[in-house]
Amino acid sequence: MRERLYPLEELNDIPGTKVFTAKGSREAYHLHKFCMSLMEAANRDAFKADEQAYLARFRMTEEQKQAVLDRDFNRLIELGGNIYFLVKLSNTDGWSVQKAVSSMTDLTADEYAAMMRAGGRPADGNRSIREGN
């Protein structure tokens, strides 16, 4: 076996973070196909008119569909999603990217915006679950 700079399990040691991988990308393929379909105005209109009917066109899992309906971005990321696909959904809703991102934290959109204006979330204490630094 070749030596690596670090074991890949280390990717799971970053607090509050899920690293997007080829495996996740595959699991979320149909979810992502749905997200990218929202790059066309006619599809955005169809989705807004009847979300469930529109979602039925895609071979997504029921969990993924429910998380879309709930706009539960943390859950969508757990189910393989990547934020750059998911913002197509929040853009369709007219949300700012900041509002979409803030919805994954324990802050309200206003609290999150205030945190960012104050310099953002510090790296200290947020680097490693194991080291607690």
Residues that bind other proteins (CB under 8 A): 5-6, 10-11, 14-22, 25, 29, 32-33, 35-36, 38-41, 44, 73-74, 77, 82-85, 87-92, 94, 96-98, 101-102, 104-106, 112, 115-117, 119-123, 126-128
By beta-carbon proximity to other proteins, the closer residue of 52 and 98 is 98
Q: 29-37 vs 83-92: helix axis angle to the nearest 10?
A: 40
Decide whether 28 or 65 has the Cβ nearer to other proteins.
Answer: 28
30 or 63: whose CB is closer to other proteins? 30
Rounded Cα gap, residues 67 and 70, in angstroms: 5
Cβ atoms < 10 Å from Cβ of 120: 9
Those residues whose C-beta lies under 8 Å from the C-beta of residue 37, and which sit 6 or more positions away, are 43, 58
Taking the complex as a whole, the smallest distance from the CB of residue 69 to other proteins amounts, in Å, to 17
CA dist 49 and 46 (Å) reads: 5
Is 46 or 115 the residue whose CB approaches other proteins more closely? Answer: 115
Shortest distance in whole angstroms from residue 65 CB to other proteins? 18
Distance CA(32)–CA(27), nearest Å, equals 9
Residue with smaller CB distance to other proteins, 33 or 71:
33
Q: How many Cα atoms sit within 13 Å of 11 on the Cβ side? A: 8
Nearest Cα neighbor of 101 from 128, 75, 73 is 73
Min CB(77)–other proteins separation in Å: 6
Least Cβ distance, residue 52 to other proteins (angstroms): 20
